[in-house]
Amino acid sequence: MLASTPPAKSVEIVEVSVRDGLQSDPAMASTATKVELIERLLAAGIKRLEAVSYVNPKRVPQMADAEAVMAGVPRPEDVTYIGLVLNRRGFDRALATGVDEINTVVVASETFSQRNQAMSTADAAGVWHDIAGHAAGAGIGTSVTVSAAFGCPFEAALPLERLVEVVDMVMASPPDELALADTIGVAVPTDVYERVAAVAQRLEGTGTTLRCHFHNTRNTGIANVAAAVEAGVRVIDASAGGIGGCPFAPAATGNIATEDVVYLLERMGYSTGIDLGALIETASWMEAALGHGVPSMLSKAGAWPPAAG
């Protein structure tokens, strides 16, 4: 009799420490530090990572070395490098540098969109539609992050109807993946169940997968990951060490830590393909390289059971 094993549940981690993390880190990491961090993440089993940003270097000096970083990293075939682009100029730089995938951002709240990107939500969706056409021609992967998807720092509530409206704006040119970001870290698991279900319904049949990006600003980030995967999301953003956040959102600190997420998911029965022990070592290395502590819990407590880490 053939053994019938159910298909393993797996979750893909998109590692964001090198871009989202270091972008707002006080340490101003050098190109060599970024490349070494990427090498360590790949050695830990990370297969997809946000590595660089092609935004105006005057606005985000920490990310000015995108070309040098991409020239310095190993390029195994099964590893996907993502570059953040916010306009056509950034997209052209991304193409010239040879990243595998571009990510762009559409802010769900009108006020935050104006403050963060100096344009309306509809105009940001328009930028995406323009980039989408060129990306299709270039054969490059695409993802769009809908930020402030769970709440806005300036408008308080971000109604579910508004989120769905913005998702529909984006989906006029369906990206390979759409990410819901809790940019200011206000969501709780009930919000996640509600919003993931509503957005998943809009993506049904389009081929666009759904991903979530949580911040731990109010200590709900890890609970939100649990809710998202239980609601069917299979791609989660996380930042090694838990470094970073958004420099343009007031007090929005606290990306969720990759090691904390990996521990949670593996213990819940989801495989991530990531070596927790190697991640914990990477967190200690980061503390030395950046000259400050990192907020992850697993890097302090260690894995459990002890043999696992």
Positions marked active-site: 246
Question: Residues 13, 18, 20, 121: which binds Zn ion (CB under 5 A)?
Answer: 20
Closer to Zn ion by CB, 143 or 173: give it: 143
Interface pattern 250-279 for Zn ion (x via CB under 5 A):
-----x------------------------
Per the CB < 8 A criterion, the answer to whether 186 and 218 are in contact is yes
Closer to Zn ion by CB, 81 or 303: give it: 81
Per the CB < 8 A criterion, the answer to whether 264 and 225 are in contact is yes
Cα atoms in the Cβ-side hemisphere of radius 13 Å centred on 117: 26
Q: How many chain residues interact with Zn ion (CB under 5 A)? A: 2
Rule CB under 5 A: say whether 182 interacts with Zn ion.
no
Helices 88-97 and 121-138: crossing angle in degrees, nearest 10, is: 30
**What torsion do the CA atoms of 191, 268, 239, 210 make, to the nearest 10 degrees?**
-50
Closer to Zn ion by CB, 95 or 294: give it: 294
Rule CB under 5 A: say whether 173 interacts with Zn ion.
no
d(CA 168, CA 111): 19
Measured from the CB of residue 227, what is the shortest distance to Zn ion in angstroms? 17
Rule CB under 5 A: say whether 50 interacts with Zn ion.
no
Q: Please choose, out of 13-21, 79-87, 170-178, 223-231, the segment that lies near Zn ion by the rule CB under 5 A.
A: 13-21
Three-state secondary-structure class, residue 210: strand
Cα separation of the two ends of the chain: 36
Per the CB < 8 A criterion, the answer to whether 44 and 259 are in contact is no
Rule CB under 5 A: say whether 25 interacts with Zn ion.
no
Rule CB under 5 A: say whether 103 interacts with Zn ion.
no
**Neighbour tally for 15: CB within 10 Å:** 28
Closer to Zn ion by CB, 255 or 282: give it: 255
Measured from the CB of residue 181, what is the shortest distance to Zn ion in angstroms? 7
Measured from the CB of residue 20, what is the shortest distance to Zn ion in angstroms? 4
Closer to Zn ion by CB, 208 or 255: give it: 255
**Structure tokens that stand for 268 in this block:** 């819940």
Q: Which of 126, 69, 123 is nearest to 99 (CA)?
A: 69
- Could you list the residues that contact Zn ion (CB under 5 A)? 20, 255
